[in-house]
Structure 1
Amino acid sequence: MKYILFGIVVLTVALCEAHLCLLNPHQRGTMNGINTAGANDCILLDGPCGGRKAMNPVVIVQAGEPFYVVFQKNLDHFNSTSPGKFVVSIGANSAEPSFQQVGMIADSNTTSLHLYTLNVTFPKMSTDHAVVQVTYVTNNPKAPPVFYQCADVLLA
């Protein structure tokens, strides 16, 4: 019984260790509590978009032009022996999207609620409704391997 309780505590801590919020473009769903470390809207574990359905695009992005993606490490989980990374990708809005990486930032020993800004250029695509995906690859055996956020954009 003692080992079962210990396992539950370890799993609970691991699930609460790393969160990712996507601020620009606006992530699917809400941004409730993002100024609080450990916000529920920032812990999405199911790929490709955390289980959240597509929304109507509210941001227009010029294909081939620089665009600033802003995201937040909502709760710090830096692994100094094997640092993770944040990956920005884009794909067509479809049932099984295929994503193309457009940028990456290595995880570092930053505090909870730290904001990252990444200047990316989105390629021209055969669709105007695209999905921007940001993933946090933790490289930490004590945490889930990947956290997901997506935003729907209109490519012009």
Structure 2
Amino acid sequence: MKVLLLLAAVVAIGQAHLCLVFPKQRGNITGLNMAGADNCLLVKDAPCGGRPAEMPEVTFESGMNATIIFQKNLDHWVMATPGMFEINLWGMKGKMNLMTVPDMGPNMGQPSGTLYTVSVPMPKMEMEKAILQVVYITKNPMAPAMFYQCADVNVMMKR
């Protein structure tokens, strides 16, 4: 019985995921509709899970709200210690936390596959080739502490 519990814990640890849908995460997003998608598993090498930078495909307007869409691809919610998602912007001045989103809702923990659409304020400064980072902080002792996804973006003043 203990062996089965240990095996289940190892499988759970190896398969937690976070996907960044918009702006599109680095790399590809294949398998998004399947819980446990390999392209959504980045647990090492903060801030971006070891994926290399790409040319920004999205430009957000400085000082305005931007819509960010991400998916909890595999759930690790624990009632005693509910986790959260952080949305950060990395640039020349380091990391800026734009928003923290609790991992809870009507069911006290959204299931695998839940899409989150949030409106976050962009800083009132220009940032070329910035990194938009979403972090799933699980607070689950049976799972990795954090999962990362990044997208390369620009933040520009309206011209």
TM-score by length of 2: 0.87
Query: Structure 2: how far apart are the matches of 1:49 and 1:121?
Result: 21
Q: Which secondary structure does the structure 2 equivalent of 1:151 belong to?
A: strand
The corresponding residue for 1:22 is 20
Identity %: 40
List per-residue Cα deviations over 1:24-73 (Å, max 9, x = no partner): 11100000000011000111012110110100000011111110111000
The corresponding residue for 1:135 is 135
Query: Structure 2: how far apart are the matches of 1:51 and 1:4?
Result: 32
Total equivalences in the alignment: 151
Q: Which amino acid aligns with 2:10?
A: L
Q: Is the 8 A contact 1:135 1:149 kept in 2?
A: yes
Shift of 1:111: 1.4
Q: 1:121 to 1:12 in 2, by over 3 A?
A: same
The corresponding residue for 1:149 is 149
Shift of 1:6: 6.4
Matches within 5 A, 1:90-105: 90-92=89-91, 98-105=94-101
TM-score by length of 1: 0.89
Query: Structure 1: how far apart are the matches of 2:125 and 2:66?
Result: 16
Shift of 1:154: 1.4
The alignment yields a C-alpha RMSD, in angstroms, of 2.0
Matches within 5 A, 1:73-88: 73-88=72-87
Matches within 5 A, 1:2-151: 7=6, 9-16=8-15, 18-46=16-44, 47-92=46-91, 98-108=94-104, 109-125=109-125, 127-151=127-151
Q: Is the 8 A contact 1:28 1:152 kept in 2?
A: yes
Shift of 1:98: 2.5
